[in-house]
Structure 1
Amino acid sequence: MSSTSIGCLVAGEWRTDGPHVERLGPWTRDVVSTARQAGDDDVRAALDYARGGARAVARMSPAARAAVLDRAATAVAGQRESLARLLALELGKPLKDGRGEIDRVADTFAVSAAEARHIGGEVLPVAGWARGVGNTALTHRAPVGVALAITPFNAPANLLAHKLAASFAAGNSTLVKPPPQAPAVSAALVALLLECGLPPEAVQVLHGDGALGATLCAAPEVGVISFTGSAATGAAVARAAGAKRLVLELGGNAATIVCADADVAAAARVCAATGYSNSGQSCISVQRVYVQRARFDEFVDAFTAEVEKLTVGDPLGEGTDVGSMVDDEAAERVVSWVRAAGAGGARITTGGRREGATVLPTVVAAPPADATLVREEVFGAAVAVLPYDDFDDVIAVCNDSRYGLQAGLFTHDVRRIVTAWRELEVGGLVVNGSSNFRLDHVPFGGVKDSGFGRESPRWMIDDYTVVKTLLLRGMSLFGDQESV
């Protein structure tokens, strides 16, 4: 099959001459794309161009930025099939998941356009204090200048959309470092934005490894960094960045709680559908399901039956639910963790093996609480199901994790809902749904080693802008009489 050759976008030009790295499709086992790697000259040229470009983008009105993003929201729907196909080829993501991701890209562009129109400021109540009488103070949100977006492989299109669209909506110039596993779909999305009127000063694309990322993070021209990836890499980003604004989304090992009053059959269907989409390669994918002991066996049986209904196969197949993971190494890691849990006494009710980079959807019942499959982020097609007795105790067990991104809860008891919302150490709680649910216009992010900051255009624009204050001495919008 033919592969797609991808260049670096530097100073308004796609640079294709130079060293390239091949991407082997995890399902096809063929070269599906080749990405031209950025060198030192590219980095220097990109940083110089971004500094000047930031001034040009900042001069665009919010209405003009919004119009570009609205056009892109429409245009991306027209390229839904081709972009979903790229996701399938580069990542092994089933077409149905890829189409869903591209639909979310369209939503993200549209929401970012709306948020661009809402950027404003405040008139401050300075006359409420004696020293402020006779003066006026106003604020507005100004672009940071140059933003750096480092995107992950598991949702390369939508997370690029979040980072780049919000940054442009805020009036910044953005440097994009795509994941090495998905250069073609990343470049295609940037090209679409340019065709829709995104000025060349607003975006540049540099392909490379972790060393390139570290260089860009340390660059003094960069004012804000948005990174999605592992906790270890996030810590490296923070060290390289120094005193810069950071938005870090660093993964998790999401828990979902199923209470005795829940509809167990419905909970099993939802957890099966959301535990193995994208082969479980999502930071909020269902990883740990805690079921009240009285319903535990019932849930395990129902869940296993639902998981066994999933169709595993060619990601380009219309009926495929589960394709391949990102590579063989990732698949072997998941299977090895499952084997270790089994050796510790867990019951593997289905799956537990791989075929190349494809992990057959796996259910692990009652693993040891200290199993790696429970403690660390599995990021793969395996779900652990564990019993619990007391609701307060299961809250404590869920919190006994270095991660805290998002959780799910199945119950009809409003007291449990309020307790979980108050006590769970997570950034978000989904009630009568699993941990794996997200709306792109709702704030999303975590606590502890799951990072900080919130991804969603409105909240990201806060991170991509700075508050500038104007003080008008001797001019007051308020009364200036100092005493009665």
Structure 2
Amino acid sequence: MLKTNFRKSQPYIQGEWISVERETVTITSPYTNEVIGEQLLATEEDVEKALVSVYEAKKEIAAIPSHKRAKILKRAAYLLEERKEEFAKLISLELGKPLKNTLDEVSRSIETFELSGEEAKRLIGETLPGDASERGTKAIASTFRVPVGVVAAITPFNAPLNLVCHKIGPAFAAGNTVILKPSSQTTLVATELIKLLLEAGFPENAISMVLGRREVVQQIVKDDRVNVISFTGGTVASRNICKLAGMKKVLLELGGNAATIIHDDSDITRAAKMCAKTGFSNSGQSCISVQRIYVHQSIVDKFTNLLKEEVLKLKIGDPLLPDTDVGCVVDQNAAMRVKEWIEEAVELGAKVICGGNRSGATVEPTILLNPPKKSKVICEEVFGPIVSIVPYETIEEAIEEANDSSFGLQAGIFTNQIDLAYKVANKLDMGGVVINGTSNFRLDHWPYGGVKDSGIGREGPRYAIEDMTETKMIVLQLSDND
């Protein structure tokens, strides 16, 4: 059971929780600014022991039958279902994410473990006859999916449970060991998840968790005992990881400044409701959160008013209250940065339709009208509660503006013309396009990821497993007498 008093997050290495003689960092709730716990930071020696542990265990874990790995993952899903509310409250306390959002995150995490358990039994290959080649008339090949060995999982704060599950679940389903480095802002929920996994039957040597700063990540990333790095985070950090990684596979799920297009024939009442809901959930701290809304010139005034009405209905406040829609951002520094971006946009000519104020780590849901292209709220990733409305005249203009970004994660298009919808979807340079929905929609069994600076590879258990396994081929050459 999760306790309600002072908590401690600790590294987990070689089957033991590190608890003494380590540097500690105070953990505070971003909404109340109250101290809720402390985290113990791993030393360089701790990280080395963690790497040794998962490296030495990789053959043992790979030898576990897939049905047993599936059973463990499904047991983890069952335990998480039992403790759904406890985990949701801990995320809300540690992150400031509203309870209604964290309950949804726990539900998705349960589903992610269940899906990973199912995929553990689907590590299928092919049989390939050789006679497609003159030299292969007496040969046949079979392919198998085999684990890569050690997966380094480096996760962010904004979905601190589900994004960890999206790495650990597929990695273990494929027969790999994992070294986890969770975000420094959300180590309490990571600690509780490791405890739950061990209770579910996760082998003690199948996973290690280290807590710490940038140097911990660097030590893991450059180590040759790591076979795959699965990182979710920012572009700058990802470039540094790529420079350090060397000869290993790097999977990157990065950011975005997601666009949603509202065409003149769409149901704008529905579009406004969905943009309000998906633009400000988790205070906009999602890679696919609605950020840039391109609206046809003929309906921009009406849509703006409808969106404002919906945004003003959102309840801002204590993330632990069940009816709160918008809590706070991850810390006061993030809130001050978001406020500065609003002010910059206004100085450059944008109009504030609603919101724009900050109190501590809480920023009011903000609508900006017509910020210029060079403003940060348009050309960079906000990761905060801001949406910007930009008018367009032709659909070609909307497509061009949506594509004019270094990112390419997901986008949305609202229109009642199915041919136009597919035309737009095909021309948008994105990893995913949602028709008659916003950019902020994903299901955990779908392939999720982007192009350009939005990343490399795809999440979703089935698709992550493809990147966390290798194709092994075994060839049988028949004798000439056969």
TM-score in same-fold range (> 0.5): yes
Distance 1:270 1:315 in 2: 21
Q: Which residue of 1 aligns with 2:8?
A: 5
Structure 2 runs not aligned, ≥5 long:
none
Quick one: percent identity of the two aligned structures?
43
Aligned-pair CA distance for 1:79: 0.9
SS across alignment from 1:128: coil
SS across alignment from 2:126: strand
Distance 2:78 2:284 in 1: 29
Q: Is the 8 A contact 1:56 1:201 kept in 2?
A: no
Q: Which residue of 2 aligns with 1:437?
A: 441
Is 1:308 the equivalent of 2:303?
Answer: no
Q: Is the 8 A contact 2:283 2:329 kept in 1?
A: yes
SS across alignment from 1:212: helix
Aligned-pair CA distance for 1:75: 1.1
Q: How does 1:181-192 map to 2 (within 5 A)?
A: 181-192=185-196
Q: Is the 8 A contact 1:33 1:183 kept in 2?
A: no
SS across alignment from 1:471: strand
Q: How does 1:205-220 map to 2 (within 5 A)?
A: 205-220=209-224
Distance 1:416 1:210 in 2: 46
Identify which of 81, 84, 88 aligns with 1:84.
88
Is 1:262 the equivalent of 2:266?
Answer: yes
Is 1:348 the equivalent of 2:322?
Answer: no
Q: Which residue of 1 aligns with 2:145?
A: 141
The one-letter code of the counterpart of 1:70 is: K
Identify which of 276, 285, 289 aligns with 1:281.
285
Distance 1:382 1:418 in 2: 28
Is 1:380 the equivalent of 2:384?
Answer: yes
The one-letter code of the counterpart of 1:211 is: E
Distance 1:42 1:415 in 2: 57
The one-letter code of the counterpart of 2:453 is: D
Aligned-pair CA distance for 1:121: 1.1
CA 1:475–1:186: 2 relative to 1, 3 Å: farther
| Per-residue CA distance 1:375-412 (angstroms, 9 max, x = gap) | 10000001001100010111011111000000011111
The one-letter code of the counterpart of 2:23 is: P
Distance 2:30 2:6 in 1: 14
Q: How does 1:66-465 map to 2 (within 5 A)?
A: 66-465=70-469
Aligned-pair CA distance for 1:372: 1.0
Structure 1 runs not aligned, ≥5 long:
none
Q: Which moved more, 1:455-464 or 1:122-131?
A: 122-131
CA 1:194–1:298: 2 relative to 1, 3 Å: same
Identify which of 48, 56, 63 aligns with 2:52.
48
Q: Is the 8 A contact 1:346 1:367 kept in 2?
A: yes
SS across alignment from 1:276: helix
Q: Which residue of 2 aligns with 1:28?
A: 32
Aligned-pair CA distance for 1:41: 1.4
Distance 1:7 1:353 in 2: 37
Distance 1:116 1:33 in 2: 36
The one-letter code of the counterpart of 1:363 is: I
The one-letter code of the counterpart of 2:14 is: A
Aligned length: 478
The one-letter code of the counterpart of 2:13 is: V
Distance 1:22 1:239 in 2: 31
Aligned-pair CA distance for 1:33: 2.5
Distance 2:400 2:137 in 1: 52
Aligned-pair CA distance for 1:2: 3.6
Q: Which residue of 2 aligns with 1:15?
A: 18
Q: Is the 8 A contact 1:136 1:475 kept in 2?
A: no
The one-letter code of the counterpart of 1:194 is: L
Q: Is the 8 A contact 1:6 1:16 kept in 2?
A: no
Aligned-pair CA distance for 1:120: 1.7
Q: Is the 8 A contact 2:53 2:208 kept in 1?
A: no
The one-letter code of the counterpart of 1:4 is: R
Distance 2:119 2:479 in 1: 32
Aligned-pair CA distance for 1:475: 5.8
The one-letter code of the counterpart of 1:7 is: Q
SS across alignment from 1:248: strand
TM-score of the superposed pair, with normalisation by structure 2? 0.98
| Per-residue CA distance 1:329-371 (angstroms, 9 max, x = gap) | 1111111111111122211011101110000000001111221
